[in-house]
Amino acid sequence: MKALLINGSPHKSGCTFTALSEAAKTLNENGIDTEIVWIGNGSIHGCIACGGCSKTGRCVFDDGVNEISDKMAECDALIVGSPVYYASPNGSVYSLLDRLFGICPHLAHKPAAAIASARRAGTTATLDGINKYFTIKQMPVVSSSYWNMVHGSKPEDVLKDEEGLQTIRNLARNMAWLIKCIDAGAKAGINVPENESGARTNFIR
């Protein structure tokens, strides 16, 4: 069993990474393998609605999104970490998620969680923005003993945020438990629900 953690910060080893590392450590202690993927500090292209992915299952832009989609095939859970930019996830995270959730067929029914990192505020809005991606793909959203956020301007500050790190550890324990519950259910013959499909409406007809 394995969880994929996405570091959406432009800083490879900054505050977001520090929080994700705490989650990964706790997941490991609870029997879940982990991989932290850094999306880098280059350009993550926004979706241009070209429709190419509907034909190939791959995004036309080669900037790491396809590779993350492939990794999800081998993972049982997802954590997305982002710094706060103007009370929102940063632009690269939004661009990545817009495209990843458009092409990845390996998301439904896998537990997911968001982690926000900020100096001071905007964290809950950032969590809301990321969580919406999970809920449109039938991913159980894992909660904790508080909202999943850490505070600080540098990693050393985050390490002093005792309640924040405690919240991240509790999140990881809850995720490990849910991953194991889903695995046990599958082994007991409890299958994922079958979806209805075909109904598509809009607001003008």
What are the pLDDT digits (tens) for 14-48? 999 999 999 999 999 999 999 999 999 988 999 99
DSSP notation for 92-158: HHHHHHHHHHHH-SS-TT--EEEEEEESSS-HHHHHHHHHHHHHHTTPPBP--SS-SEEE-SSHHHH
Helix axes 162-187, 15-29, angle to 10 degrees: 40
Residue 85 pairs in a beta bridge with: 88
Token pair of 201, please?
Answer: 């409406």
- Output the pLDDT for position 205: 63
What are the pLDDT digits (tens) for 133-186? 999 999 999 999 999 999 999 999 999 999 999 999 999 999 999 999 999 999
Confidence class for position 53, pLDDT limits 50, 70, 90: very high
Residue 33 pairs in a beta bridge with: 2
Q: Round the average pLDDT of the chain to a whole number and report it.
A: 96
Confidence class for position 200, pLDDT limits 50, 70, 90: confident
pLDDT tops 90 at residue 202: no
Give the pLDDT mean for 58-68. 94
Q: Which domains does the chain have, with CATH numbers?
A: 2-187 (3.40.50.360)
8 A C-beta contact, residue 151 and residue 8: no
3-class SS at 194? coil
What is the distance of C-alpha 26 from the center of its chain? 17
Give the pLDDT mean for 72-82. 97
